[in-house]
A and B are shown apart, each in its own frame.
Chain A
Amino acid sequence: MKKIEIITRTFKLDEVKTALSGIGVKGMTVSEVKGFGRQGGHKEVYRGAEYQVDFVPKIKIEVVVEDDFAVDVVEAARKAAYTGETGDGKIFVSPVDEVVRIRTGETGEDAV
């Protein structure tokens, strides 16, 4: 199993969710996060004084899927989140050792 973390622009949430649901992803977790990458932060001005704000608001979508499904999920998410401008975000894929469904006690891919 793989965990896929998609960190992208906040206004892309609906498009990514729709794209992932469309290819069969059954569940996801969404968080509001802040951070910066190569895009950097932005400048704010208050009464003539400039401040550099490093952390930009983003959303993080986490899904866990079967190994052979991960490539499709990453590609669907990438297409949905794409604008072509700096700051589109990152997708991280990492292995998951175990999954447990709390209600039934199922484990492994049955629990995803």
Chain B
Amino acid sequence: MNFVDNAFILICAALVMFMTPGLALFYGGLVRSKNVLATIMQSFIMLGLMSVLWAVIGYSLSFGSDIGGLIGGFDFAFLKGVGMDAANSPADNLPHLTFMIFQCMFAVITPALISGAFAERMKFAGFMVFSALWLILVYAPMCHWVWGGGWMGEMGALDFAGGAVVHMSSGAAALCCAILIGKRKGHGSTAFIPHNLPMTILGAAILWFGWFGFNAGSALAADGNAANAFVTTHMATAAAALSWIAAEWMHGGKATTLGAASGAVAGLVAITPAAGFVTPMWAIVLGLGAGVICYGGIMLKNKFGYDDALDVVGIHGVGGTFGALMTGVLATVNAEGLIMGNAHQLWVQFVSVVATWAFCFAMTFVIFKVVDTTIGLKATPEEEDKGMDIAEHSETGYQW
């Protein structure tokens, strides 16, 4: 065990934890004022539900002994054998508990990301059951495939901090949910205007801050790889914020604050799989591409007609996919991508993208249908009119 690494990863875990309330503010500002609390709740309560589920079963399914490359066993259920030393730990420089809690924070934020797709119209009870099942049936297998000794990692797919596990998986789930739950009442005729953009921008800034723990911490050591991941994360994010506003300036005539915040998040998403495999200069190139590609990505919902309320598909789905593929192109650090003459890596990345989208979309479809027909997921038109804060929680965010 390495004490410096331990200190670093514990701090990183705390940074990643802060991303979830950051996401709550990011999403909370984007909805109408009558839905601000329900939207914040769908992120915040994941800190409760996902953490407990992770300790009970999620961690074991993700990092327990490999079963056929598909799922982990029950070795670590109820954190049995997960202790204060490095015994059985996937990272032999860290206490097993440190590795577990760092991974826990990823499991917390991923289902929260999906909630942006069905914001302003999802019942709370159904949401909780859906999210619990999603963690066990989608997140845990994905996590095992990529990081827990499963087939995707064995195949050589590069995913430094969760491009597939966190972003593509949540993006694919978001697309499925947005299609299945249907549009918000008044979609197409009512203006769904963000009620508090300063809140959203503060949330984006917190995400940016926390993402250093997300990506640099994924080096699992306080070393040069962590430094590289930290710098590539920052550079890609900065570049994406610039390229997003450049794109919207040319397309719409104005550079908006929401555009700057959205571009930053797009850059964070896209660099996530690549953070430890590219140089800072290639990270800038990747970020510049991500801002423009994700700006295009948010136009998809208008083209195809689904109501992905807060653009989870356009930013996390498209950005994660772009980042995964570009990792196969731009990898020069600890791996070789297309620009190093290794076309095979791009093929591996492509296979991992297709598999992630197909598995996460299909499994989310099944979970959604089961929960919808048993507990119910969509709010009634009356509840939507009233606002989900009152309808689901008997509270209001603001007293006028």
- A-side interface residues toward B, CB under 8 Å? 44-53
Contacts and interface: CB of A to CB of B under 8 A. Distances in A.
Interface in B256-283: 256, 258-259, 262
B85 interface: no
A48 B191 contact: no
B113 to A, nearest CB: 17
16 contacts: A45-B252, A45-B254, A45-B256, A46-B193, A46-B194, A46-B256, A46-B258, A47-B262, A47-B298, A48-B248, A48-B252, A48-B299, A49-B302, A50-B252, A52-B191, A53-B191
B311 interface: yes
Contacts of A47: 258-259, 262, 298, 311
Given A50-B252, A53-B191, 15 more contacts: A44-B193, A45-B252, A46-B194, A46-B256, A47-B258, A47-B262, A47-B298, A47-B311, A48-B251, A48-B252, A48-B299, A49-B302, A51-B191, A51-B193, A53-B193
B295 interface: yes
A96 to B, nearest CB: 30
A53 B295 CA distance: 23
Nearest to B252: A45
A47 B299 CA distance: 9
A48 B298 contact: yes
Interface residues of B, number: 16
B249 to A, nearest CB: 11
A46 B259 CA distance: 8
Contacts of A44: 191, 193
Contacts of A48: 248, 251-252, 295, 298-299
A97 B97 CA distance: 79
Contacts of A52: 191
A46 B254 CA distance: 11
Contacts of B298: 47-48
Nearest to A54: B191
Nearest to A49: B302
Nearest to B254: A45
Contacts of B254: 45
Contacts of B299: 48
A46 B200 CA distance: 12
Contacts of B259: 47
Nearest to B296: A48
A47 to B, nearest CB: 5
Interface in B225-252: 248, 251-252
A43 to B, nearest CB: 10
Contacts of B302: 49
A32 B209 CA distance: 39
Contacts of A50: 252
Give me the 8 closest cross-chain CB pairs, A-B, nearest first: A51-B191, A47-B298, A45-B252, A46-B258, A51-B193, A48-B299, A46-B194, A48-B298
Contacts of B193: 44, 46, 51, 53
Nearest to A44: B193
A45 B256 CA distance: 8
B253 to A, nearest CB: 8
A49 B300 CA distance: 12
Nearest to B295: A48
A17 B131 CA distance: 57
Contacts of A46: 193-194, 256, 258
A52 B295 CA distance: 21
A49 B248 CA distance: 11
Contacts of B258: 46-47
A70 B299 CA distance: 55
A51 B295 CA distance: 18
A37 to B, nearest CB: 20
Nearest to A52: B191
